[in-house]
Structure 1
Amino acid sequence: GTSYNAFLLQTEKGNVLFETCKENFAAECLSRIESVIGKEGKIDYIVLNHTEPDHSGSLIHILEKYSDATVIATPAALGNVKYIGHIKDDTKTLSSAKLKTLDLGNYHLKFMLQLFLHWPDTMMTVIGEMKVLVTCDVFGGHCADERVFNDQMEDRIKDMDDAYRHYFDCIFGPFKPYVLKGIDMIETKMGFPADELKAICCSHGPVLRTNIRSNIERYREWSQPPVLKNKVVITYGSAYGYTEAMALKIAEGIKSVGVAVSIHDIVKSSVEKVLADFANAKGLLLGSPTLVEDAIPPMMLILRNLNPIVHCNRFIQAFGSY
């Protein structure tokens, strides 16, 4: 499971809603807003750090109730939300790229455009006086729990660590250079040192108010370019032993020139193990017999998991028997 996190900030110059949620949770979101500001309360600003439907899906319903609210987002997000969020043409909007900061009296917001984390529309928002960073998807994790803060979930540390890593690999794996740029902005552009952060409010999973530095550092570690080994991974499937014979002969040739070889019989191994082995290898060879004019499904699945951004500058070839 997961959570869809929205945050409400009450200030001297109005109420600010950060993010919304999936459309099918709009009624619950509106009810929770009303429980804080009352039936006669207003939402003055809606800060959209991202316009994926799990962030903007209920926006149209929130604007129906709070029609005077001004939507603040990046230029790309404002373009997206007309089609994803179906907002009306007369909705009040402000570009965060032009605005840069927002004076709310006792609080000031600073908008940091951090594109491709993980869409071209993304940004983070700093609440300076609170030393809080609203990060959108960054530092999040798909883990459902009624508790709000990470320090309340110490009984689930292993669960959360696994969830954070899986989330990073799936969401930010193709965008590691942009993650590093984002971390640099957090370190240098917030207006105060990152070590002074009191909380990171992400869109999925618990709010981080402890171990903030360690969460930043593991994102930095996970985003480092892999140190590729002079190794070739060979994976094959063989119906009658012929493709296997080819794989073993190819392995002999590769070893003869001093290159390490790792071999996976896909029946005994798995797609996940092959991809993990290839993560730090320079080469990949896929061997398959012909099955109804095509390669066997595991090889197709491996190919579907290769990414031109993640796996650039590698050598990949196929071989087979028929």
Structure 2
Amino acid sequence: MTTVTEAIRYVGVNDHHVDLFEGQYPVPNGMAYNSYVILDEKTAVMDTVDILFTEEWLKNVAEALGGRKPDYLVIQHMEPDHSASIEAFLKVYPDTTVVATAKAFAMIGQFFDLDLEGRKLVAENGASLSLGSHELHFVFAPMVHWPEVMMTYESTDKVLFSADGFGKFGALDTEEDWDCEARRYYIGIVGKYGAQVQNVLKKAADLDIQIICPLHGPVLKENLAHYLEKYDIWSSYRAESEGVMIAYTSVYGHTKAAVELLADKLREKGCPKVVVCDLARDEMTEAVEDAFRYGKLVLATTTYNADIFPFMKHFIDHLTERNYQNRTIGLIENGSWAPLANKIMKGKFEKSKNITWLETEVTIKSALNAESSAQIEAMADELCRE
């Protein structure tokens, strides 16, 4: 158990058993499922944890309560990694009042067979709940990243309980860079909902926030401007860093050779950062992260079954379903008899906003030759022009 403030205790758990978070995101350093207890005239427990850690969490809660009974269980988000222990908690503490949005209560009814008559409090956007000297203010955050989500601002200690916002991959007993794994977490899980995150950031700007308590990742107490700036960049789909990300697939090595030539040319011309990703072998979620991090993207693939190679198709789908926008994209295709990849790749971005296409497109017919090598040179020049 960790002390957040004199009145707030951390009672979350670390999960080192999970290999894929949400069934798709590799988490080599595990995950943290965060929960907090607020101690005042009345006590409040903020969210629960994944079902595999119910018993450990209940012990943490009991230790923090020190023999007291919880008055409120505040549910900010109904995703099972945070809500799965609700039923077990209420068996131990049956007199607790559950506080949640109306949409969250509807989901509680879907996940559990619980009769909450007489022990539920429907939170309203902007409403407050007094615990004594501490007061909770509810801030609705719909579609960040589920529709029932709310955040809670505690105005005495100036703490924002931010639900999945400002979270990251990784258990709390491991040391790793916040930016990298928070970026991968945000873009993968919340990235589609930039407009909704922007709305919440505008609400947060009116609050005096000294501490952020997310449902994943560390409690944030210092340099909060850094984290808020990152979220503003990510949720407004602006490039975070200067550089070029090259994502490719290659069957027999000829497309790879073109990519390596382009990367060499970019470095020779002083490109600040060149990131190359083999979509068939490198971790897809990290490739998606880099595509959002940098302002320029080059896609290189083969024509395959009158379409594009599956890993490239999958990668572009990841980008477009997360509202990829405000970027410059260049295209490289390879085809031995009927090159179609550039046209198909471009078509997959037809609903994307503010995409600037390089004038130079590269077409390789089987293997690099003088003509396609000259196109690579021209593409490097165009990428480095700004």
Question: Taking structure 1 as the reference length, what is the TM-score of the superposition?
Answer: 0.74
Q: Is 1:7 matched up with 2:36?
A: yes
2:202 corresponds in structure 1 to 184
What is the CA–CA distance in structure 2 between the aligned matches of 1:52 and 1:273, rounded to whole Å?
Answer: 26
1:34 and 2:62 are equivalent in the alignment: yes
Alpha-carbon shift at residue 59 of structure 1 (Å):
0.5
1:318 to 333, 344, 354: 344
Structure 1, gaps ≥5 residues long: 147-152, 248-263
Aligned ranges 1:1-322 → 2 under 5 Å? 1-12=30-41, 14-39=42-67, 41-90=68-117, 92-97=119-124, 100-146=127-173, 156=175, 159-188=177-206, 190=207, 193-194=208-209, 197=210, 199-226=211-238, 237=250, 276=290, 280=295, 287-290=302-305, 296-311=309-324, 317-318=343-344
Counterparts of 2:72 and 2:145 in 1: how far apart (Å)?
23
Distance 1:23 1:35, change over 3 A: same
* Cα deviations by residue, 1:272-313 (Å, 9 ceiling, x for unpaired): 6698458746997864222xx975432332244233451369
> Following TM superposition, by how much is the alpha carbon of 1:317 offset from its aligned partner in structure 2, in angstroms?
3.8
**Closer, same or farther: CA 282–165 of 1 in aligned 2, 3 Å:** closer
- SS in structure 2 at match of 1:145: coil
More helix by share: 1
Gaps of 5+ in 2: 1-29, 259-275, 330-341, 346-363, 366-386
What secondary structure is seen at the aligned counterpart in 1 of 2:32? Answer: coil
Q: CA RMSD in A?
A: 4.0
Distance 2:86 2:189 in 1: 23
> 2: CA distance between counterparts of 1:268 and 1:127?
46
The CA distance in 2 between the partners of 1:183 and 1:167, in whole Å, is 18
Size of the aligned set, in residue pairs, is: 288
Deviations 1:244-273 (A, max 9, x none): 9xx9xxxxxxxxxxxxxxxx9968996666
2:49·2:83 contact (CA, 8 Å) conserved in 1?
yes
Q: CA deviation at 1:121?
A: 1.1
What SS does the aligned partner of 1:318 have?
Answer: helix
User: Is the contact made by 2:301 and 2:309 (CA closer than 8 Å) also made in structure 1?
Assistant: no
Alpha-carbon distance change, 268 to 187 in structure 1, aligned in 2, over 3 angstroms: closer
Runs (4+) of structure 1 exceeding 6 A deviation are: 264-272, 282-285, 312-316
Residues 204/91 of structure 1: CA separation in 2 closer, same or farther (3 Å cut)? farther
Instruction: Please list the CA deviations of residues 99-154 of structure 1 after superposition, one character each: whole Å capped at 9, or x if unmatched.
Output: 811122211110011111111111111111111111111111122134xxxxxx9x
Give the equivalent residue in structure 1 for 2:262.
Answer: none
Alpha-carbon distance between aligned partners in 1 of 2:96 and 2:288, rounded to the nearest angstrom: 51
TM (norm. structure 2) is 0.62
Shift of 1:161: 2.6
Q: Which has the higher contact order (CA 8 A, sep 6+)?
A: 1
